[in-house]
A and B are shown apart, each in its own frame.
Chain A
Amino acid sequence: MKVVLENLTKKFPSRNKKNPADVIAVNNFTFEIPDGSLVGLLGPSGCGKSTTLNLISGLLTPTEGKIFFGEDDVTDLPPEKRGVGLVFQNYALYPHLTVMKNIIFPLENLKGKDKLTKDEMRDKALDIAKLVQIDTLMDRKPSELSGGQQQRVAIARALVKMPRVLLLDEPLSNLDARLRLQTREEIKRIQRETGITTVFVTHDQEEAMSISDLIVVMKDGIVQQVGKPQEVYDEPINLFVAKFLGTPPINVFDAKIKDGRLYIGDDCVLDTPNAKDGEVYAAVRPEGFILDDNGSLTCKLKAVEVMGRDISIVSSNTNCHADAIRSIISSENAPKLGTDSVKFTLKRNKVFVFDKVTEARIDI
């Protein structure tokens, strides 16, 4: 089931008496989610990603715009008529019901021709429990489960009705680091096996990058960029997206373009034949540095951190926005001890140049 969002806008009345203008949580969002894909909505808190999720679920109704599931316009349908499964951030498992009863709960709401017998419900619940691997825990109460197990029960409850669309709100935020890795693979697997179009919300770019077919980067209610994770990482459309994706984060410098060349300070680092002269931001991915005694970019060496296969060089440059420049190079090329400055050559495809005013990407 593909999901189409058309000019979706959601405004909330202002709570601030001094500034009575409406708060625009989602602004003119247009996007088609392909059938059977896993899409991650990504952005810092308050960017409107949870609002978007709630608009798709029907818990909120849009101020403007339309939502289609396949060819059906569901904009005015209440949540229960949309056929969505929703997994809440805190899971919202009913604490007084067993795992089995929690999973069966949505099935018991079915009426008329969809009504199921007790045995059919049990069978369905067990099938889905097997899929998420909690079939041995069916008689426990939620309080007797670990965080990861609760998460699985929540997913099972959302899936048992075979929803047209599965929605997950910050699915991994309540789990510890080790479980997070494991669970995100699990979500990917469940999504593959069921083939249900799935949208999830996260503020963790690594989480979104690792499992999504498509990611949507949002800021202040406005979609910044949509694409496959690697594409967005390799070709960020503006400074915000470039900064938001990647760990360690991208290194941003004040720079200028003069006579078809990119200068950081007085160091000429790249040829930029396509760019006009002027002040710009130059952003370099950590893996975009090559240690080179003849390199053009000179930085002060602060520390060398050995991470096994790679090493991280921490250095500084007065034109860098951050105190420290983080660069990752393979450990064979470690700088000699005792030096207090390092020189780098930059990889062309790891350097992005942005306009100083609009922060939009400039072609080099």
Chain B
Amino acid sequence: MTANNKKTDRISVGKVIIYILLGIWALAVLFPFYWMILTSIKSYGAYSSEYVPKFITLSPTLENYITAFTSVPLGQYFLNTVIFTVATTAIMLIVIIPAAFAFSRLEFKGKNLVFTLFLSLMMIPNELVVITNFMTITNLDLRNTFVGLILPSVTSVFYIYLLKENFSQIPNELYLAAKVDGTSDLKYLFRVMLPICRPTVVTVTILKVIECWNSYIWPRLITDDPAYFLVSNGIQEIRENGFGRENIPAMMAAVVVISLPLIVLFIIFRKKIMEGVARGGTKG
């Protein structure tokens, strides 16, 4: 019995060390979030007069949030990003679903060749094509428009591939049965395939929303009118030109507002998002 006790003791010491190390990393992840929220509810005066940064505040205030929305067009940035995200994601789905369907179910000449070419496009880094796209959009006079912001990012070879793989898993008999019953391709796609593949469609949608919400480079190139800034560019603008003076608490309030939607989305769809990313999402 004593031997047994010793064994469990040793195991628990090892476990405790593991928990401590994991806890340290959890702190490293969470601390910036804590500091961001904490700073955002300190008043400007209190923050600037701290000789030693304080880890709690006894007089929380929401004035920074008011400043963030009134002194800079944060609401406008926010709205722009919502429009951009919704429009891009919706158009993307309209573009990629038929393409994935064609690759998975329809027979046509040169299908394999076209699909191989599609796949090889996955290796093309964004940096290579952004230059010409910038010139194209500029020449078309589409700078500082939503059209210019949205158009280049409404297709994704990777998502077509992901959907196509999922579509292909549906037994062909279902398609043939539908054909025998006289179901049109389009009806089959919407009534059978999409409902079965809903999880993948949701995954693709969520990943695209995250991507859109955080996109920075293309919007920065294509907009210089703050009326069309997205949140990333907005926060950069705030950082560089600020609130008239350097107002860190108000800046943090803006950061909180910008971060919140995705964190809420994450809390609601935690499992779906993590599964989706594990299946092949990468950042950016």
Direct contact of A and B (CB under 8 A): yes
Enumerate chain A interface residues (CB-CB to B < 8 A): 76, 78
Using CB atoms, name the residue of chain A closest to B4.
A76
A230 to B4, CA, bound (A): 42
Enumerate chain B interface residues (CB-CB to A < 8 A): 3-4, 7
The 3 A-B pairs at the shortest CB distance, nearest first, are namely A76-B4, A76-B3, A76-B7
Chosen A-B contacts, 4 in total, with CB atoms closer than 8 Å, are A76-B3, A76-B4, A76-B7, A78-B7
A76 to B4, CA, bound (A): 6
- Chain B residues with CB below 8 A from A76, complex form: 3-4, 7
A74 to chain B, nearest CB (A): 12
Q: Is the interface of A mostly helix, strand, loop or mixed?
A: loop
- Chain B residues with CB below 8 A from A78, complex form: 7
B201 to chain A, nearest CB (A): 33
B14 to chain A, nearest CB (A): 15
A267 to B7, CA, bound (A): 66
A76 to B3, CA, bound (A): 8
A78 to B11, CA, bound (A): 13
- Chain A residues with CB below 8 A from B7, complex form: 76, 78
Using CB atoms, name the residue of chain B closest to A78.
B7
A76 to B1, CA, bound (A): 8
A76 to chain B, nearest CB (A): 5
A78 to B7, CA, bound (A): 10
A237 to B226, CA, bound (A): 89
A78 to B3, CA, bound (A): 11
Using CB atoms, name the residue of chain B closest to A75.
B4
A306 to B3, CA, bound (A): 64
A297 to B55, CA, bound (A): 92
A76 to B7, CA, bound (A): 10
B269 to chain A, nearest CB (A): 26
A78 to B10, CA, bound (A): 14
A254 to B3, CA, bound (A): 55
B219 to chain A, nearest CB (A): 46
- Chain A residues with CB below 8 A from B3, complex form: 76
A76 to B6, CA, bound (A): 11
A55 to chain B, nearest CB (A): 15
A63 to chain B, nearest CB (A): 13
Using CB atoms, name the residue of chain B closest to A61.
B4
B11 to chain A, nearest CB (A): 11
B7 to chain A, nearest CB (A): 8
Using CB atoms, name the residue of chain A closest to B3.
A76
- Chain A residues with CB below 8 A from B4, complex form: 76
